[in-house]
């Protein structure tokens, strides 16, 4: 396929080549010039070049290019290089003396004709605008990038702020929940209410104090729920709350269970963002108990005051004064009660030192009170204040802790008592002297009396002994008279009466002798089994028991006593025979013998169901010849119980009776229980 020319009608290019070239350069939009010679003289410039240089062709032609080119330093060198080397060169140069950078772009090539260099073509372009645009674009880019950077930075800042806010918010939420938890932990009731009085928050303390749960309380009107009674008009409280932001005071309220309480309420006003009252936070403490204690303290203080003012004892509070060696040297009266002056004789003591009021006051008192102040140990003593001429009974105790130098003193003037005691002591000494003298006299007289009694007893004994012979003679002769002498009935009757009287007298004398003997015969004591002794006694008196068909009960076991056998048998027989003898007519005698041991003493009981004894005679019957009945009613001499008493007492025991008339008698004797061990006193001293 062959290539066709585009326009066959156009003239051939070579027809007028110089003209064509000129036409090309003349219409080229690019500034073009040619130079020749070593000084590079402009030989041709196209209109675009003239426009660029803002000079006419005439002005330009013939001038050295160095004169007109604005950026020419490097350009000249390069032109020389094109001349020498005959090669094209391109170059861009900056015009430095412009306020903003201007660039000149040069394209230079040699014009060779017939192998001879005839000049150099220069195509010049000012790149300032382009560059300016580039710079503007760059600047815009730069600003854009800066903006972007700023935006990124702002975004990052915003993110960081958001993060901070989120963290802050989380912290806040934590803080709030922690505060809510802390509010719940508070012992106080904490209530938040809105300005209409509706409860918004009700902590655990409030639940505990009032008894309503949070669910029950929230939404209720606080003062109606708690039946609050205010110390002043509620209007005034609200005004103060609005004015100061807080109010504190005591309220009376009622719990869910109806119990009335006193509380200390601290109200704080909560305002919204615009500063308007939004609600009230109330912190409430139950002070019912505190008020009760306060009241009790007040009452106690009042009681103390009353006591202080009314007691007879002097009372004072003193402040001890010590020297630099902690030695108590004086004291000052801080307070004295009305009786103080009466007790001490010191008027208006309050505020004064004792050394001012009583010159030469004894140091004993300083030391005494000083010790109380230093040790805190209370002191009670009676001592003489010689300088005051009085005796005092004091009780001193420290007021307050170890640092306190205050001592409270209860003081009584006992001068009179001491004087009385002194005279009493003297009297006592005298009395005791007299008593000693008397005692000696009594001992003397007792000895003498004892001697007399002994001689009387011995006389008695001798007389009784001597009386027996004539009595026996009377008894024998009257018996012989009845038998051997012919007597009529009257004679016989008299003889028999004399015989019975003699018998009775004989019995009396026998009993008296037995009684008398108890005073001087020795009583060898030994361990005797009461069971065996009672058994022997019953055996001895068996005929009598059988005759009366009496019922005898011995309650075993019977303990062992320290006694002498013969008198013990005498005692047992006397008590047993009395129990049988003083029976109620028609009633079978019943006797119980039992014993009990208490604190080393054996009490043996002989109980009967007989006639009994009236209380007023119960002691008397233990005397000699004491009888409550005639011998016709109940025979006897009235010596039996006297013998029992003396014998028991000689063995170191006692005797007694419990009885009621008509209800039987319970006679008892007490003897020492037999001691285990080798030692046993053989006899007791002979009674007087
Ligand atoms: P007597 O038995 O010889 O009269 P006692 O000295 O033994 O003398 O007693 C004195 C008095 O005590 C008795 O006369 C009697 O009145 C009263 N008495 C003694 N034992 C009993 C008894 N078991 N019951 C009632 N009275 C008694």
- Secondary structure percentages of the chain, helix, strand, coil, to 5: 50, 25, 25
Which atom number of ligand 1 is nearest to the Cα of residue 637?
3
Tens of pLDDT, residue by residue over 533-551, are 999 999 999 999 999 999 9
Q: Chain-centre distance of CA 11, in angstroms?
A: 133
What pLDDT does residue 547 have? 95
The residue behind tokens 């108890």 is: 518
Query: What is the per-residue pLDDT for 71?
Result: 60
Q: Is pLDDT at 686 greater than 50 in this prediction?
A: no
Strands 116-126 vs 32-36: parallel, antiparallel or unpaired: antiparallel
More confident residue, 457 or 80: 80
What average pLDDT does range 393-404 have in this prediction? 90
Nearest CA to ligand 1 atom 11: 627
Quote the CA–CA distance of 101 and 70 in Å, as a whole number. 13
CB 195 within 8 A of CB 280: yes
Q: Please tell me the distance from the alpha carbon of residue 524 to that of residue 676, in angstroms, as a whole number.
A: 17
Closest atom of ligand 1 to 622 CA is 6
Q: Cα–Cα distance between 50 and 33 in angstroms, integer?
A: 9
Cα 638 to middle of ligand 1, angstroms: 7
Quick one: pLDDT at residue 43?
Answer: 87
For a pocket test of ligand 1, which of 627, 635, 662 has the largest count of ligand atoms closer than 8 A to its C-beta? 627
For strands 551-554 and 590-598, give the pairing.
parallel
Q: Tell me how far the alpha carbon of residue 621 lies from the centroid of ligand 1, in angstroms.
A: 7
Which atom of ligand 1 is the closest one to the Cα of 606?
23
For residue 282, the CA-to-ligand 1 centroid distance in Å is 96
Residues with CB under 6 A from ligand 1: 574, 578-579, 582, 608, 610-611, 613, 621, 626-629, 636-642, 665
Cβ neighbours around 391 below 10 Å, total = 19
Ligand 1 centroid distance, CA of 583 (Å): 11
677-687 core/surface letters (b: 16 or more CB in 10 A; e: else): eeeeeeebeee
**Rounded distance, CA 45 to CA 140, Å?**
38
> 641, 661, 669: which to mutate for ligand 1, most atoms within 8 A of CB?
641
The rounded distance, in Å, linking the Cα atoms of 255 and 212 is 8
Residue 137 banded pLDDT, cuts 50, 70, 90: low
Q: Which of 101, 102, 104 is nearest to 90 (CA)?
A: 104
CB 33 within 8 A of CB 66: no
Mutate to test the pocket of ligand 1, among 504, 579, 582 (most ligand atoms within 8 A of CB): 582
Q: What is the DSSP string of 111-173?
A: EEETTEEEEEEEEEEE-HHHHHHHHHHHHHHHHHHHHHHHHHHHHHHHHHHHHHHHHHHHHHH
> 93 pairs with which residues across the strands?
104
Query: Is pLDDT above 80 for 152?
Result: no
Q: How far is the CA of 654 from the centre of ligand 1 (A)?
A: 18
Q: What is the distance between the alpha carbons of residues 34 and 119, in angstroms, rounded to a whole number?
A: 6
pLDDT (tens digit, 9 = 90+) per residue, 577-602? 999 999 999 999 999 999 999 999 99
**123 — pLDDT class (breaks 50, 70, 90):** confident
Under the banding of pLDDT at 50, 70 and 90, the label for residue 8 is: very low
Q: What is the pLDDT of residue 158?
A: 76
CA-nearest residue for atom 23, ligand 1, is 579
Dig out the tokens for 268 from the structure: 């704080």
Nearest residue by C-alpha to atom 13 in ligand 1: 627
Q: Supply the residue whose CA is at minimum distance from atom 14 of ligand 1.
A: 627
Asked whether the predicted pLDDT for residue 416 surpasses 70, the reply is yes
Q: What is the rounded distance in angstroms from the CA atom of residue 508 to the CA atom of residue 502?
A: 10
**pLDDT tens digits for range 459-503:** 777 777 788 888 888 888 998 888 888 889 898 899 999 998 898
For residue 540, count other CB atoms closer than 10 A to its CB: 14
pLDDT given for residue 546 in this prediction: 96
Residue 370 confidence (pLDDT): 93
Q: Which residue has the higher pLDDT, 129 or 269?
A: 269
- Residues 108, 90: Cα–Cα separation, whole Å: 6
Q: Is the distance from CB of 530 to CB of 559 less than 8 angstroms?
A: yes
Task: Convert 11-22 to b/e letters by CB count within 10 Å (16 or more is b).
Answer: eeeeeeeeeeee
Largest CA distance in the chain: 244
Among the residue ranges 84-88, 212-216, 362-366, 680-684, the one predicted with the least confidence is 680-684
Residue-wise pLDDT tens digits, 12-38:
555 577 777 788 888 888 888 888 877
CB-CB neighbours of 607 under 10 Å: 19
Q: What is the average pLDDT across 592-619?
A: 96
Calpha distance 359→352 (Å, rounded): 12
d(CA 29, CA 22): 13
Which one of 511, 632, 638 would you pick to mutate in the ligand 1 pocket, going by the greatest count of ligand atoms within 8 A of its CB? 638
Could you identify the residue written with the tokens 């396929």? Answer: 1
Mean pLDDT for the stretch of residues 389-401: 92
- Pocket-testing residue among 578, 584, 613, 645, ligand 1, by greatest number of atoms within 8 A of Cβ: 578
Structure token pair of residue 495:
């003889």
Mean pLDDT for the stretch of residues 219-233: 93
Q: Which of the listed residues 585, 591, 621, 666 should we mutate to test ligand 1's pocket, taking the one with most ligand atoms within 8 A of CB? A: 621
Mutation probe of ligand 1 site: the residue of 510, 605, 636 with most atoms within 8 A of C-beta: 636
**Residue whose CA is closest, atom 7 of ligand 1?**
640
User: Rounded to whole angstroms, how far apart are CA atoms 183 and 177?
Assistant: 10
Taking the centre of ligand 1 as the mean of its atom positions, its distance from the CA of residue 602, in whole angstroms, is 23
Q: Copy the structure tokens of residue 601.
A: 């003493």
What is the mean predicted confidence (pLDDT) over 239-262? Answer: 92
Distance 302 CA to ligand 1 centre (A): 72
Confidence of residue 172 (pLDDT cuts 50, 70, 90): low
What does R_g of the chain's alpha carbons equal in angstroms? 74
Burial of 309 (0-12, 13-18, 19+ CB in 10 A): exposed
**Long-range residue pairs from 261-266, CB within 8 A, at least 24 positions apart, any chain:** 261/209, 261/286, 261/288, 262/286, 262/287, 262/288, 262/291, 263/189, 263/209, 263/287, 263/288
Give the mean model confidence (pLDDT) for residues 554-579. Answer: 95
- The torsion angles phi and psi of 481, rounded to 5 degrees, stand at -60, -45
Q: Of 179, 548, 314, 154, nearest to 162 (Cα)?
A: 154
| Helix (H) / strand (E) containing 249 | strand 246-254
CB crowding 206-227: b at 16 or more within 10 Å, else e: bbebbebeeeebbebebeebbe
> What dihedral do alpha carbons 329, 332, 336, 341 form, nearest 10°?
70
In what helix (H) or strand (E) does residue 296 lie, and over which residues does it extend? helix 288-310
Neighbouring residues of 138: CB distance < 8 A, sequence distance ≥ 6: none
CA of 591 to the centre of ligand 1 (A): 15
CA 624 – ligand 1 centroid, Å: 11
Nearest atom, ligand 1, residue 608 CA: 23
Sequence-ordered list of residues with C-beta below 8 angstroms from that of 133, at least 6 positions apart, any chain: none
The rounded Å distance from CA 577 to ligand 1 centre is 9
> Shortest CA distance to 681 belongs to which of 520, 527, 519, 518?
527
With residue 575 as reference, give the H or E element that holds it.
helix 565-581
Backbone angles phi, psi at 382, to 5 degrees: -115, 130
474 alpha carbon – ligand 1 mean position (Å): 28
How high is the pLDDT of residue 1?
39
Beta strand ranges found along 400-547 (DSSP E): 406-413, 526-529
Whether the per-residue pLDDT at 146 is higher than 80: the answer is: no
Which atom of ligand 1 approaches the CA of 664 most closely? 24
Model pLDDT, residue 450: 77
Model pTM score: 0.41
Highest mean pLDDT among 100-114, 233-247, 398-412, 602-616: 602-616
Question: Which atom, in ligand 1's list, is nearest to the CA of 579?
Answer: 23
**Per-residue pLDDT, 147:** 67
Residue with CA closest to ligand 1 atom 12: 621
Strands (E), 53-100: 89-95
Would you give the DSSP letter of residue 260? E
For residues 182-190, average pLDDT: 77
Rounded distance between C-alpha atoms, residue 218 and residue 78, angstroms? 98
Q: Tell me the CA–centroid distance for residue 595 and ligand 1, in Å.
A: 21
Task: For residues 181-206, give the mean pLDDT.
Answer: 84
pLDDT value, residue 684: 44
């Amino acid at each position: 396929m062959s290539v066709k020319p585009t326009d066959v009608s156009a003239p051939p290019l070579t027809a007028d080549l110089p003209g064509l070239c000129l036409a090309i350069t003349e219409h080229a939009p690019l500034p073009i010039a040619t130079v020749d010679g070593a000084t590079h003289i402009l030989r041709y410039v196209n209109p675009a070049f003239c426009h660029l240089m803002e000079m006419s062709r005439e002005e330009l032609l013939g001038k050295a290019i160095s004169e007109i080119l604005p950026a020419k330093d490097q350009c000249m060198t390069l032109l020389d290089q094109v001349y020498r080397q005959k090669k094209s060169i391109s170059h861009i140069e900056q015009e430095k003396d412009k306020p903003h950078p201007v660039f000149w772009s040069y394209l230079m090539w040699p014009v060779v004709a017939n192998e001879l260099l005839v000049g150099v073509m220069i195509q010049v372009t000012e790149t300032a605008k382009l560059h300016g645009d580039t710079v503007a674009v760059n600047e815009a880019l730069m600003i854009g990038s800066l903006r972007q950077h700023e935006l990124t930075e702002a975004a990052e800042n915003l993110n960081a702020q958001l993060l901070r806010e989120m963290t802050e918010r989380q912290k806040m939420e934590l803080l709030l929940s922690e505060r809510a938890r802390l509010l719940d932990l508070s012992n106080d009731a904490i209530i938040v209410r809105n300005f209409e009085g509706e409860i918004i928050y009700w902590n655990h303390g409030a639940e505990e104090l009032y008894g309503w749960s949070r669910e029950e309380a929230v939404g209720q009107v606080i003062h109606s729920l708690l039946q609050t009674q205010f110390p002043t008009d509620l209007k005034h409280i609200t005004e103060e709350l609005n004015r100061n932001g807080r109010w504190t005071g005591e309220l009376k309220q009622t719990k869910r269970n109806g119990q009335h309480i006193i509380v200390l309420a601290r109200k704080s006003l909560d305002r919204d963002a615009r500063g308007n009252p939004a609600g009230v936070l109330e912190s409430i403490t139950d002070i019912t108990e505190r008020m009760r204690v306060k009241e009790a303290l007040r009452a106690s203080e009042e009681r103390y005051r009353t006591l202080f003012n009314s007691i007879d004892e002097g009372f004072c509070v003193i402040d001890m004064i010590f020297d630099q060696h902690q030695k108590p040297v004086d004291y000052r009266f801080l307070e004295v009660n009305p009786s103080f002056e009466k007790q001490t004789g010191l008027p208006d003591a309050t505020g004064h030192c004792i050394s001012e009021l009583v010159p030469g006051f004894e140091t004993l008192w300083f030391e005494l009170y000083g010790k109380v102040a230093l040790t805190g140990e209370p002191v009670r003593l009676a001592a003489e204040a010689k300088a005051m001429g009085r005796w005092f009974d004091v009780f001193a105790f420290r007021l307050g802790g170890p640092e306190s130098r205050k001592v409270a003193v209860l003081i009584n003037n006992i001068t009179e008592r001491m004087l009385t005691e002194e005279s009493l002591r003297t009297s006592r000494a005298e009395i005791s002297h007299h008593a000693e003298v008397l005692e000696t006299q009594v001992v003397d007289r007792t000895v003498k009396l004892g001697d007399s009694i002994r001689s009387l007893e011995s006389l008695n004994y001798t007389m009784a002994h001597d009386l027996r012979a004539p009595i026996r003679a009377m008894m024998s002769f009257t018996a012989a008279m009845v038998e051997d002498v012919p007597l009529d009935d009257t004679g016989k009757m008299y003889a028999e009466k004399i015989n019975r009287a003699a018998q009775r007298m004989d019995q009396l004398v026998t009993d008296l002798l037995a009684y008398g003997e108890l005073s001087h015969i020795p009583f060898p004591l030994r361990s005797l089994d009461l069971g065996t002794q009672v058994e022997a006694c019953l055996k001895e008196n068996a005929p009598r028991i059988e005759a009366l068909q009496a019922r005898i009960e011995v309650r075993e076991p019977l303990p062992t006593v320290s006694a002498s056998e013969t008198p013990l048998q005498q005692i047992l027989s006397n008590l047993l025979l009395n129990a049988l003898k003083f029976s109620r007519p028609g009633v079978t005698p019943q006797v119980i013998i039992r014993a009990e041991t208490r604190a080393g003493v054996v009490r043996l009981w002989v109980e009967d169901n007989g006639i009994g004894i009236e209380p007023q005679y119960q002691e008397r019957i233990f005397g000699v010849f004491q009888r409550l009945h005639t011998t016709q009613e109940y025979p006897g001499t009235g010596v039996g119980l006297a013998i029992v008493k003396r014998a028991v007492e000689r063995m170191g025991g006692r005797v007694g009776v419990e009885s009621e008339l008509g209800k039987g008698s319970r006679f008892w004797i007490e003897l020492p229980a037999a001691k285990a061990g080798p030692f046993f006193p053989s006899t007791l001293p002979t009674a007087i």
